[in-house]
Amino acid sequence: MSMRVNMHYADLKDSYLFSSIAHKVSAYQQTHPDADIIRLGIGDVTLPLVPAVVEEMGRAVGEMGRKESFHGYGPEQGYDFLRQAIQGYYGSRQIRLDMDEIFVGDGAKSDLGNILDLFDQENRVLVPDPVYPVYVDTNVMAGRSVAFMNATEDNGFLPLPEPGLKADLIYLCSPNNPTGAVYTREGLKAWVDFALNQGALILFDAAYEAFISDPLLPRSIYEIEGARGCAIEFSSFSKTAGFTGVRCGYTVVPHELVFDGISLNKMWLRRQTTKFNGVSYVVQRAAAAVFTQRGQQEIASSLAYYRENAKTIAQALEKMGIDYTGGKNSPYIWMKCPNGMTSWDFFDHLLSQAHVVGTPGAGFGANGEGFFRLTAFGDQAKTRQAVARLQALLSER
Ligand code: MLT
């Protein structure tokens, strides 16, 4: 008998959503070399790293070039200076974390995928539909079947636990990717109570928390009483501080998470020390600079820049009478496709007629059909241009 592959990969869609889109766009560009394409598809940032981060990164590079300050392997869980800064960030919002509950990693996507090493195959997985494809694909790769909960216009794209619902692992993302919807405290409390009741675990993706400006909306699940007993939180510097290409994030695993008599914190530490050698010293120094007073001021102006884009897109949609969610405490705008178009038809139409790229809602799940996601992470002038093209195209209706 020869080597066998993981046949669960055969259950995946052919390619990852954002790779498919990138291929489609590059094929179009090849046949239309003069087309000035504006990309508001993948949520990739366009502003450079802020000066506080760049300076600290440069200083750390200098340290690496001198024998007396060189760093080799670092602590797998992250350097103390960064974990202390993260602890302080949560502390400023009255959330107490122990240092050893914080794990620095190379981004939320990796940790969201890797965390599945900790869980038994038989767990019932529950994800909203539409959803960030990583939650589904990583479970499919591991051979787990996934149940979906409907996120629709009727529930404001924020599903709540329904009577009779059973689940062991529940994925929540707020502000949501792709819909931009944000859970209220009451909404998250309903999930925390449900998880505590069922002995379930919530995997809470907080990658977009920095976009919440409404003080009444929760930015961390640990703002909800009881969450330390039922939730792991994933966060990232990607969207907050422009680290999509630098790579750094963090995951919080509270000590209260004990299942089958085993601490998830200890398991995750065991997993990380075995399979991961930590994030580079230079990157962790850069990440720590985000939490300095100057770093916070500088990233606040980057966030304001993206918020302005969200406003530009949202106002245009309002003017055109197109329904949408998000864009207020979120960098994503989730719009209804005009004229009852399917989301891939609208993608093709917008690309070929206006040279604007967005993400078809159907790529995020069945309930995404008929919707389309635009990101606010683009360049401001280009975003305005894209919006003008969208308005011109749709006024031809
Ligand atoms: C997205 O566009 O949904 C994100 O950029 C994907 C990611 O953060 O991995």
- Residue 177: CB within 6 Å of ligand 1? yes
d(C-alpha 331, C-alpha 334), whole Å: 10
High-pLDDT (> 70) share of the chain, %: 100
CB within 8 Å of 103: residues ≥ 6 apart? 77, 78, 111, 250, 251, 252, 253, 268, 269, 272
238 CA distance to ligand 1 middle (Å): 9
- Whose C-alpha lies nearest to ligand 1, atom 5? 43
Atom of ligand 1 nearest to the CA of 177: 3
**pLDDT band of 167, cuts 50, 70, 90:** very high
pLDDT at 111: 98
135 has pLDDT over 70:
yes
**pLDDT band of 87, cuts 50, 70, 90:** very high
d(C-alpha 74, C-alpha 278), whole Å: 6
pLDDT one-digit tens code per residue, 291-335: 999 999 999 999 999 999 999 999 999 999 999 999 999 999 999
pLDDT at 397: 59
- Answer positive or negative: Cα dihedral of 78, 80, 82, 84: positive
- Distances from the Cα of 59 to the Cαs of 84, 251, 280, 282, in angstroms? 20, 26, 14, 8
Spell out the alpha helix ranges (H) of the chain.
Answer: 17-31, 51-64, 80-91, 108-114, 133-141, 185-198, 238-241, 264-275, 281-290, 293-320, 343-354, 380-395
319 C-beta neighbours (distance < 10 Å), count: 10
Residue type, 161: P
Higher local confidence (pLDDT), 145 or 371: 371
pLDDT one-digit tens code per residue, 199-256: 999 999 999 999 999 999 999 999 999 999 999 999 999 999 999 999 999 999 999 9
**pLDDT band of 18, cuts 50, 70, 90:** confident
- The DSSP bridge partners found for residue 371 are 336
- DSSP symbol at 197: H
247 CA distance to ligand 1 middle (Å): 13
Given the DSSP bridges, would you call strands 332-336 and 371-375 parallel, antiparallel or unpaired?
antiparallel
Tokens of 46: 């366009």
pLDDT at 1: 80
d(C-alpha 323, C-alpha 307), whole Å: 19
pLDDT at 13: 84
- Residue 42: CB within 6 Å of ligand 1? yes
27 C-beta neighbours (distance < 10 Å), count: 10
254 C-beta neighbours (distance < 10 Å), count: 20
- Residue 43: CB within 6 Å of ligand 1? yes
pLDDT at 366: 96
User: With the CA atoms of 303, 107, 296 and 315 taken in that order, what torsion angle do they form, in degrees rounded to the nearest 10?
Assistant: 10
2 has pLDDT over 80:
yes
14 has pLDDT over 80:
no
Candidate of 16, 39, 42 to mutate for ligand 1, largest count of ligand atoms within 8 Å of Cβ: 42
- Whose C-alpha lies nearest to ligand 1, atom 6? 43
High-pLDDT (> 90) share of the chain, %: 96
d(C-alpha 302, C-alpha 238), whole Å: 12
pLDDT one-digit tens code per residue, 325-338: 999 999 999 999 99
- Of 8-17, 97-106, 322-331, the least confident: 8-17
pLDDT one-digit tens code per residue, 30-75: 999 999 999 999 989 999 999 999 999 999 999 999 999 999 999 9
**pLDDT band of 268, cuts 50, 70, 90:** very high
Candidate of 177, 243, 247, 374 to mutate for ligand 1, largest count of ligand atoms within 8 Å of Cβ: 177
d(C-alpha 310, C-alpha 335), whole Å: 12
- Whose C-alpha lies nearest to ligand 1, atom 8? 43
- Whose C-alpha lies nearest to ligand 1, atom 9? 109
33 CA distance to ligand 1 middle (Å): 26
- Per the rule left: phi > 0, alpha: psi between -120 and 50, beta: everything else, 370 is left
d(C-alpha 224, C-alpha 14), whole Å: 39
d(C-alpha 185, C-alpha 218), whole Å: 6
Helix H or strand E segment including 39: strand 38-39
The per-residue pLDDT of the chain, averaged, comes to 96
- Residue 109: CB within 6 Å of ligand 1? yes
389 CA distance to ligand 1 middle (Å): 24
**pLDDT band of 17, cuts 50, 70, 90:** confident
